Amino acid sequence: MSKLPAKAKCVVIGAGIVGNGMVYHLAKLGWTDIVQIDKGPLPNPGGSTGHASNFIFPVDHSKEMTAITAESMRQYKEFGTFTETGGIEVARTQERMQELARRITSGKSWGIDGGQILTPAEVKKLVPYIDETVIVGGYYQPTVGVVDSLRTGTIMREKAQEMGALQSFANIEVQDITVENGEVKAVVTDQGTIEAEYVVIATGCWSPKLAAMAGAHIPLTPAVHQMKDIGPVPFFKDTKGDIEWPIVRDMDVFMYERQHGTGLEIGSYAHRPILYTPEDLPSNATAALSPTEFAFTQADFDIQDEHAYELMPSIVGDENVREKYAINGILSYTPDGMPILGETPEVKNLWSVAAVWIKEGPGTAKSVAEWMVLGDSHIDLHASNIARFHEHHKEEKHIKSRVAESFNKTYGIVHPNEQYESNRKVRLSPYYDREAGLGAVFYETAGWERPFWYECNKDLVAKFGDKVMPRAAEWESRWWSPIINAEHLQMRETAGIVDLTAFAYFDITGPSALAVVQKAALRQMDVAIGRVVYTPVLGPNGGFKSDLTIMRLDTDHFRVVTGGAHGMADKKWFADLVPSDGSATINDITSDYTTLGVWGPNARAIVQAVTSEDMSHEAFKFSTCREIDIKGVKVLASRISYVGDLGWEFYVPMADGPALWDALWEAGKSHGLIPVGIGVYGTTGRLEKCYRAYGPELETEYTVVEAGMQTPKLKEADFVGKEAHVKHRAEKPVAMLCTLFVDDHTSSTGVKRYMMGNEPILTVDKKAITDAHGRRSYVTSAGSAPSLGKHILMSYLPTDLAVAGNKFIVEYLGEHYPCSVAEVGSTPVFDPSNERILG
């Protein structure tokens, strides 16, 4: 073996499916001088790739995951390492049948077709060795398959070597990753030091340990997935090759069974969460099997044995079919279930490609390689962005408690609004006790407890009657309350106070501050002091990276206000634009500041009652901000609205929050002020106004023009994505974001059903709609518009179909509902001329 080079452009640490994918795609994108190292031997260095069960179900409720998986399958097929077997998810309960219908629906939204619901007898036809009496049905996906991940990794590594771009070294232990001035400098190993411009951590469950060497964080935990291989199975004695029979997922007991040669592999996500830390993993030398294959703990599998026996008694119940092999395999789990991708916020040019499973490996590698080489990936990776984590997310306690809670949801039925129970109350707003006293039902965002609605408003439900659009079906009334819609209607009549403490705020100051925000923002930032600008933030390809609000507080002082969930990624985005010469600095004040909003027809009267400042429309114009005094508290007031009514956001230091609340609350008593939750702020108020949100509507794959958000005039100053944006402005958009109304909610059983988002929009003859860029039309956001008595759906539609009045079908849980386009583009369906805001 030749000696380690002293220098490289890029060191990729790890030779599992991810590391091999990274070297291949970096080489393919033109990088040369890549060095790959692994502490284990090749081709199986002993990580999770080596013991993976290797099957791929292409459908996930997450668009991002499904896209990555589809790209991975494409590559596995290209390398000839994919065997299509078909797969069946079986249901033992009616609740699961509904979930399977939802999965088919998600598949259609993301462009994965072919899913069909089967009766137990039809399942039995495909898998003769099941007992069909224990199931109520199944979901058959013919495109499910099995891959050879080790072989694929080897092929990718060898291709990178053939390109002359790669040198790979086995049995190299990384001892340190050195950093200089916040930039990665070198990888120190037991065989020498390699100076590198870029370092990629592709070390799966060891990633946290390697990141820590550089002072960065990759918050994941190694967790056990139990697997048992039994055989030889007489029924499989004539099978050829590794796999012939469909993979079966026994969803309600969180298990899978797959034929493997003459054996049957039984895997489980049903056992108790068994979590480790990377330090717990043995070295290749001390491991009994491999460092990620721990001894099987039968006691944790006892119930699973019985469940497998129930489903496949003729095989599992055969006394002569014996355990051949059983392991507690180690996989990477993250606190929110998504991968951890991208440049670490702590160290420049240090990249994480972690918590990536076999089904996502090659696609993730391609996307991250694009991000590294081209500045952005074709597939939107915002939910996997490593920069998403707040500080408390990186703590062991958070990682462990969330993974312990979510482990058994691997095959669970997870409601889109489902809240975590563990590690809550991490961040409390100054109003928390007051809100709790009002019966707030708290949801969590970025660790903050946010009132989603207030039980104290429940009398309003009776007041508004059917206008609250009550929901009869359990699924869409779970994690929902008609009180949300009642709060909405009351706010539109009088006023509501909204706790917005979960915002993230950061100040950009210094002589270059203007240049920094100009570079980030689509809109003109060279505005008068005191102006508030709502602006998209674009990526290099002209797609969305965020949308947020920037206040110009002084010539050289801008304050960025953005949503809590995406706040840390935004901070990194801006920080990356700050020049290194010290002419601008970025300062995160998220934990120091709190925000209250007051909106509604009576908002002005309430605010005017507590301040001597002139709050009239003329004196305090829309989209402006200034410091005012409220009962002795200095408050930064900003006249903007995300809910469609007149009002202000008030920013104060945390300590002043209670006094501000009390002043507004007291003054509001005579003006019908009610507490209003995020259910209104984030959904109903927003949707009536057709306001787009980052994530659902605004993402990398759509342009400003398609979102209907282009400014009449393009600013002169340069900004990220300008070139692409200029091109988009010149072209006819391929799709347009539309607002649709559901025309009839009645299901086949006569129950009114309400879509929740992510459902496919179909033509009236129930065909999926794909635009010229291959993008499916699906519901980006859905929710009540109580003021209109309508249920709103937002969806991108191909431009020729995006015509007001055009009729479509929305598929929801396997049934079809008519809907029609109410508005094309961003014109609000409620108060289109914004009279209420500008009043």
Partner 1 sequence: MILVLVDHDRGELDPLSLRALTAARKLGQDVEAVVIGKEAGALAGIVGEYGAKVLHVASHANITDYTPMASGRALKDLVEKLKPAAVLAAGTPRGNEQLAHLAAFLDLPMAAECSEITLGSPHHVLRARWAGNLIESANVHADLLIATVLAFSTEPESANGGAATVAEFEPSLQPADYAVKVLSRDAGESKGGVTLTDAKVIVSGGRGVGGPDGFGQIEELAALLGGTVGCSRVVTSSGWRPHAEQVGQTGTKVAPDLYIAAGISGAMQHIAGMKNSKTIVVINTDPEAPILGYADYAIIGDLHQVIPALTSAIRQAKG
Partner 2 sequence: MDVLVCLKRVPLAGGTLILTPDSRDIETKHLGFGISPHEENAVEAGVQLVEQMGGTLTLLTLGPSDAEEQLRSQLAIGATRAVLLETDGQEWDPQGTAGALVDAINAEETKFDLIIFGAESADSAGYQIHIRVAHALNRPIITNVKSMKVENGVAVCDRVVATGREHYEVALPAIITVRDGLNIPRYPSVPGRMQARKKPVDMKKAEARVPKLEKVNLALAPSKSKGAEILGKGVEGVDALVEVLKKIGTF
Q: Whose Cβ is closer to partner 2: residue 304's or residue 758's?
A: 304
Closest distance to partner 2 from the beta carbon of 3 (Å): 16
Q: How far apart are CA 520 and CA 722, in angstroms?
A: 10
When CB distances are held under 5 to 8 angstroms depending on the partner's kind, the choice from partner 1, partner 2, none that residue 528 binds is: none
Residues 6 or more apart in contact with residue 509 via CB below 8 angstroms: 556, 557, 558, 584, 585, 587
Closest distance to partner 2 from the beta carbon of 133 (Å): 19
The interface region with partner 2, picked from 13-21, 177-185, 296-304, 605-613 by CB under 8 A, is 296-304
Alpha carbons within 13 A on the beta-carbon side of 73? 18
Q: How far apart are CA 658 and CA 82, in angstroms?
A: 60
Number of residues that bind partner 1 (CB under 8 A): 4
Instruction: Look at the block and give the residue holding tokens 């012939």.
Output: 244
Q: How far apart are CA 462 and CA 443, in angstroms?
A: 24
When CB distances are held under 5 to 8 angstroms depending on the partner's kind, the choice from partner 1, partner 2, none that residue 298 binds is: partner 2
Closest distance to partner 2 from the beta carbon of 296 (Å): 7
Number of residues that bind partner 2 (CB under 8 A): 31
Closest distance to partner 1 from the beta carbon of 40 (Å): 9
State yes or no: residue 285 binds partner 2 (CB under 8 A): yes
When CB distances are held under 5 to 8 angstroms depending on the partner's kind, the choice from partner 2, partner 1, none that residue 318 binds is: partner 2
In the list 11, 35, 227, 230, the residue contacting partner 2 (rule: CB under 8 A) is 230
Q: Whose Cβ is closer to partner 2: residue 178's or residue 297's?
A: 297
Q: Whose Cβ is closer to partner 1: residue 285's or residue 730's?
A: 285
Helix pair 361-374, 17-28: axis angle to 10 deg? 40
The interface region with partner 2, picked from 192-200, 289-297, 636-644, 822-830 by CB under 8 A, is 289-297
Q: In what order do the strands lie in the sheet with 647-653?
A: 625-630, 633-638, 647-653, 593-599, 495-499, 673-675
Contacts 24+ apart (CB under 8 A), 765-771: 766/809, 766/811, 766/816, 768/108, 768/111, 768/113, 769/797, 769/798, 769/801, 769/808, 770/111, 770/798, 771/734, 771/735, 771/796, 771/797, 771/798, 771/799
Alpha carbons within 13 A on the beta-carbon side of 616? 3
Backbone angles phi, psi at 527, to 5 degrees: -120, 175
The interface region with partner 2, picked from 55-63, 68-76, 285-293, 565-573 by CB under 8 A, is 285-293
Helix pair 17-28, 149-162: axis angle to 10 deg? 30
**Cα-based distances in Å from 26 to 31, 275, 402, 541, 563:** 6, 33, 33, 19, 33
Q: Is the dihedral of CA 372, 376, 377, 382 positive or negative?
A: positive
Burial class (CB in 10 A: 0-12, 13-18, 19+), 5: middle
Burial class (CB in 10 A: 0-12, 13-18, 19+), 2: exposed
Q: Where are the beta strands (DSSP E) in 281-321?
A: 293-295
Closest distance to partner 2 from the beta carbon of 205 (Å): 14
Alpha carbons within 13 A on the beta-carbon side of 253? 24
In the list 121, 180, 238, 299, the residue contacting partner 2 (rule: CB under 8 A) is 299
When CB distances are held under 5 to 8 angstroms depending on the partner's kind, the choice from partner 1, partner 2, none that residue 316 binds is: partner 2
Q: How far apart are CA 364 and CA 379, in angstroms?
A: 9
Backbone angles phi, psi at 535, to 5 degrees: -145, 140
Tokens for 453, please give them. 């609605």
In the list 126, 289, 338, 804, the residue contacting partner 2 (rule: CB under 8 A) is 289
Closest distance to partner 2 from the beta carbon of 297 (Å): 8
Instruction: Look at the block and give the residue holding tokens 């091109």.
Output: 727
Determine if the peptide bond prior to 234 is cis (ω within 30°). no
State yes or no: residue 302 binds partner 2 (CB under 8 A): yes
Q: Where are the beta strands (DSSP E) in 114-246?
A: 116-118, 137-141, 145-147, 166-169, 174-180, 183-189, 192-201, 221-231
Tokens for 123, please give them. 């399942």
State yes or no: residue 321 binds partner 2 (CB under 8 A): yes
Q: How far apart are CA 797 and CA 738, in angstroms?
A: 7
Closest distance to partner 2 from the beta carbon of 330 (Å): 11
State yes or no: residue 316 binds partner 2 (CB under 8 A): yes
In the list 133, 238, 240, 319, the residue contacting partner 2 (rule: CB under 8 A) is 319
Helix ranges (H only) for 407-561 are 432-437, 459-464, 474-477, 482-493, 513-520
State yes or no: residue 305 binds partner 2 (CB under 8 A): yes
Residues 6 or more apart in contact with residue 189 via CB below 8 angstroms: 4, 37, 172, 173, 174, 175
Cβ atoms 563, 498 nearer than 8 A: no
Q: How far apart are CA 127 and CA 243, in angstroms?
A: 13
Backbone angles phi, psi at 236, to 5 degrees: -95, 10
In the list 7, 74, 322, 478, the residue contacting partner 2 (rule: CB under 8 A) is 322
Q: How far apart are CA 158 and CA 163, in angstroms?
A: 9
When CB distances are held under 5 to 8 angstroms depending on the partner's kind, the choice from partner 2, partner 1, none that residue 308 binds is: partner 2
When CB distances are held under 5 to 8 angstroms depending on the partner's kind, the choice from partner 1, partner 2, none that residue 282 binds is: partner 2
Q: How far apart are CA 492 and CA 54, in angstroms?
A: 54
When CB distances are held under 5 to 8 angstroms depending on the partner's kind, the choice from partner 1, partner 2, none that residue 765 binds is: none
Q: Whose Cβ is closer to partner 1: residue 133's or residue 286's?
A: 286
State yes or no: residue 1 binds partner 2 (CB under 8 A): no
When CB distances are held under 5 to 8 angstroms depending on the partner's kind, the choice from partner 1, partner 2, none that residue 302 binds is: partner 2
Closest distance to partner 2 from the beta carbon of 252 (Å): 19
When CB distances are held under 5 to 8 angstroms depending on the partner's kind, the choice from partner 2, partner 1, none that residue 299 binds is: partner 2
State yes or no: residue 375 binds partner 1 (CB under 8 A): no
Residues 6 or more apart in contact with residue 501 via CB below 8 angstroms: 429, 430, 431, 448, 450, 594, 595, 657
When CB distances are held under 5 to 8 angstroms depending on the partner's kind, the choice from partner 1, partner 2, none that residue 41 binds is: partner 1
State yes or no: residue 171 binds partner 1 (CB under 8 A): yes
Closest distance to partner 1 from the beta carbon of 189 (Å): 17
State yes or no: residue 170 binds partner 1 (CB under 8 A): yes
When CB distances are held under 5 to 8 angstroms depending on the partner's kind, the choice from partner 1, partner 2, none that residue 748 binds is: none
Q: Whose Cβ is closer to partner 1: residue 53's or residue 292's?
A: 292
When CB distances are held under 5 to 8 angstroms depending on the partner's kind, the choice from partner 1, partner 2, none that residue 622 binds is: none
In the list 306, 554, 614, 718, the residue contacting partner 2 (rule: CB under 8 A) is 306
Closest distance to partner 2 from the beta carbon of 1 (Å): 11
Closest distance to partner 1 from the beta carbon of 358 (Å): 24
Q: Whose Cβ is closer to partner 2: residue 244's or residue 306's?
A: 306
When CB distances are held under 5 to 8 angstroms depending on the partner's kind, the choice from partner 1, partner 2, none that residue 289 binds is: partner 2
State yes or no: residue 224 binds partner 2 (CB under 8 A): no
Q: Whose Cβ is closer to partner 1: residue 1's or residue 299's?
A: 1
Binding mask 444-463 for partner 2 (x = CB under 8 A): --------------------
When CB distances are held under 5 to 8 angstroms depending on the partner's kind, the choice from partner 1, partner 2, none that residue 163 binds is: none
Burial class (CB in 10 A: 0-12, 13-18, 19+), 819: buried
State yes or no: residue 280 binds partner 2 (CB under 8 A): yes
When CB distances are held under 5 to 8 angstroms depending on the partner's kind, the choice from partner 2, partner 1, none that residue 494 binds is: none
In the list 30, 41, 182, 839, the residue contacting partner 1 (rule: CB under 8 A) is 41
When CB distances are held under 5 to 8 angstroms depending on the partner's kind, the choice from partner 1, partner 2, none that residue 170 binds is: partner 1
Q: Which positions touch partner 2 (CB under 8 A)? A: 230, 280-289, 294-299, 302, 305-306, 308-309, 316-324
Q: Which positions touch partner 1 (CB under 8 A)? A: 1, 41, 170-171
